[in-house]
Structure 1
Amino acid sequence: MGGSVGLVTAATWTFAALVGVYLMARWLAGGGLRRQAAKVTRFPTTLIIAHPALALSSLGCWTAHLVTGSPPLAWAAFGGVSAAALLGFAMSTRWLGSGRHERGARGVPRLALALHAAAGVATFVLVLLGAGAGRVL
């Protein structure tokens, strides 16, 4: 994949990460795990840690792919961002859900969440295209 598209992917990913840091900071400032009163609205600690850890380690793989041109690193980045996307989807459905999960949505900066999700989906697509470009060309 062309260098400029690879850099656009990295920039989109970095934007998603920065908005994610903002969301995490807001959540922690609101009490984080301590504030989760009802068990049905709680986020498992593993989910809270695994989503950003997978996304950031995958960004590291993507950066290494850009530097080295190694297709396995691109596919490793895609695998990691795929898992991070699934975890992010699980978090967003619990955060913005209705019914018993609705209390968890209070105070959620919905614009930031929408920007994070949109950048995440764009990143997912760009990484897939970037990883697959080695096979297509």
Structure 2
Amino acid sequence: MDIAALVAWIVTALGGSVLLARWISGGGLRQEQTGTTRFPAPVVFGHFLLAAVGLVVWIVYLAADKDALAWTAFGVLVAVALLGFTLLARWIPVYRTAPAGPEATPAERHLPVPVVAAHGLLGATTLVLVLLAAAGVGS
């Protein structure tokens, strides 16, 4: 279960990195100043950084086999999931709305739906796998 959670977390992180790169390259940071984007940079980068910190804690848990680290990684992952749901809730209306023009189109409008869906599903899977591993299921 521990390794399955690690693999799911890494694949989820790769998808999230693609989404972050697309948002930045689409002008997300510049658009925050103009109010075009619906994604606040602190939420975007907080989601990314907390996920990375949680992954590091999970890797340390795998090396040290300390239950407290597994539960810490799970707690961090819950915070990551909450930020992710916040971003999803802000992304859905933007995606459903017809673009108003290139300069008025939020950067998150161009995020690929399959990557968003896969990232969310893998993130939920990771959360469950980490919970099960921390609880000692399958060990």
Following TM superposition, by how much is the alpha carbon of 1:35 offset from its aligned partner in structure 2, in angstroms? 2.7
**1:125 equivalent in structure 2:** 128
Shift of 1:133: 1.3
Q: What CA RMSD, in Å, does the superposition of the two structures yield over aligned residues?
A: 2.4
In structure 1, the partner of 2:50 is 54
TM-score w.r.t. structure 1 length? 0.85
2:110 partner SS: coil
Structure 1 residue ranges (4+ consecutive) displaced by more than 4 angstroms after TM superposition? none
Give the 5 Å matches for 1:71-82: 71-82=67-78
Within 2, Cα distance between the matches of 1:43 and 1:98?
10
Q: Report the count of equivalent residues.
A: 131
Q: Identity percentage over the alignment?
A: 37
* TM-score, with length taken from structure 2: 0.84
- Residues 98 and 49 (structure 1), Cα distance of their counterparts in 2 relative to 1, 3 Å cut: closer
Structure 2 unmatched runs, 5+ = 98-104
The structure richer in helix per residue is 1
Pick closer, same or farther for the CA change 1:98–1:19 going to 2, 3 Å. closer
Q: Select the residue among 58, 81, 84 that pairs with 2:80.
A: 84
